């Protein structure tokens, strides 16, 4: 079966700085994949390449069956992206924001209304539809962000530190929905530097200085490195990778 995301030696240089270094990975359909790294490890650059916003310096990749260099239009209509910072229109009502994003993805008429109904029910946004977006609490704004990212039934959903500043109850609810989406075949690609976010992932890649330093299930990682928490694993992996690179 074709992978949802597949890259080979994906590299991006900015001048002499190598932001992403020969990234090779394969994410299956319906998988919840964690992409873990410190600030500056190359997460954002990698994501931007996968979303077709940035051309790689070398290497190849396919996202949702589309080439990341030549078929960026195809990629953008097949993925959803939820930024860590709220990026919707505060002066619009909840409903207007949803209608706008549905429209940008080509949804219209009855199909758009049906889809908005389904999503607002799924995310419990129904009572808030007519409210101005800047008047609802942060946790709900985050849900609206998610709603706008999945209206068009994306094949892959990119989440950037999705629950970094959300209370534990909302977080739990959020990940329940993510699990539901994954079960229905949506691939989830989560980037974060918060350990408790990637606990929910099927597999986790740890990125250090643009390279994948470790890749396994959360349980596998803990066993391999002999630590009780992913946080300790992360620190261990980063330390080892840095020692190797400095002895080279």
Partner 1 sequence: MKASLRRILVAGHKEFLHIIRDPQTLAIVILMPVIMMFLYGYALNSDIHNAQLLVEAPVPSAASRALTSRLNASTFFSVPGSIPASADPLQPFRSGQARALLRLPPDFEASLRRPGGAALQVIVDGSDPSVGSRMRGAVEGAVQKTLMDYLDIEPPHILDQRAVVLYNPEQRSAMFFVPGLMAVILLMISALLTSIAITREKETGTMGQLLITPLRPGEIIAGKLLPYVVLASLDGLLILIVGRLIFGVQVAGNLFFLAICSLIYVFTALSIGLLVSTIAKRQHHAMMMALGATMMPTVILSGFIFPISSMPLFLQVIAHIVPATYYLQIVRGIILKGVGLRELWQPLLILGFEGLLLFGLSIRKFRIKL
Q: Least distance in Å: CB of 23 to partner 1?
A: 20
- State residue 221 phi and psi, 5-degree precision: -60, -45
Which residue, 30, 25, 15, 13, is CA-closest to 60?
25
What would the two tokens of residue 194 be? 């918060």
Q: Least distance in Å: CB of 187 to partner 1?
A: 16
Q: Least distance in Å: CB of 47 to partner 1?
A: 10
101 binds partner 1 (CB under 8 A): yes
Cα radius of gyration (the chain):
19
134 binds partner 1 (CB under 8 A): no
Kind of pairing between the strands at 156-160 and 79-82: parallel
73 binds partner 1 (CB under 8 A): yes
Long-range contacts from 175-180, C-beta under 8 angstroms, 24+ separation: 175/200, 177/122, 177/123, 177/146, 178/32, 179/32, 180/122
Binders of partner 1: how many residues, by CB under 8 A?
24
What would the two tokens of residue 141 be? 């704004």
- Binding residue for partner 1, selected from 79, 157, 205, 233, defined by CB under 8 A: 79
- Binding residue for partner 1, selected from 92, 136, 139, 173, defined by CB under 8 A: 92
86 binds partner 1 (CB under 8 A): yes
100 or 235: CB nearest partner 1: 100
Residues in contact with partner 1 by CB under 8 A are 51, 53, 73, 76-77, 79, 81, 83, 85-92, 96, 100-101, 103-106, 108
């Amino acid at each position: 079966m074709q992978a949802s995301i597949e890259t080979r030696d994906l590299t991006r240089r900015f001048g002499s700085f190598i932001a992403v270094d020969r990234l090779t990975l394969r994410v299956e359909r319906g998988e919840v994949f964690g992409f873990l790294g410190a600030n500056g490890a190359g997460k954002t650059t990698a994501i931007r390449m996968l979303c077709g916003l940035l051309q790689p310096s070398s290497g190849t990749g396919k996202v949702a069956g589309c080439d990341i260099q030549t078929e960026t239009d195809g990629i953008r209509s097949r993925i959803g992206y939820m930024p860590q910072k709220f990026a919707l229109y505060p002066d619009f009502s909840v409903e207007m924001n949803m209608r706008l994003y549905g429209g940008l993805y080509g949804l219209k008429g009855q199909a758009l209304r049906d889809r908005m109904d389904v999503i607002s029910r799924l995310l419990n946004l129904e009572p808030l539809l007519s409210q101005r977006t800047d008047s609802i609490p942060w946790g709900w704004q985050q849900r609206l962000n998610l709603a706008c990212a999945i209206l068009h039934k994306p094949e892959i959903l990119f989440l950037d530190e999705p629950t970094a500043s959300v209370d534990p109850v909302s977080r739990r609810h959020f990940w329940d929905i993510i699990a539901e989406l994954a079960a229905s075949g949506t691939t989830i690609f989560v980037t974060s530097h918060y350990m408790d976010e990637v606990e929910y992932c099927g597999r986790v890649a740890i990125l250090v200085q643009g390279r994948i330093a470790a890749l396994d299930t959360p349980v596998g990682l803990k066993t391999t490195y002999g630590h009780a928490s992913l946080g300790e694993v992360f620190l261990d992996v980063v330390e080892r990778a840095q020692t190797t690179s400095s002895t080279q």
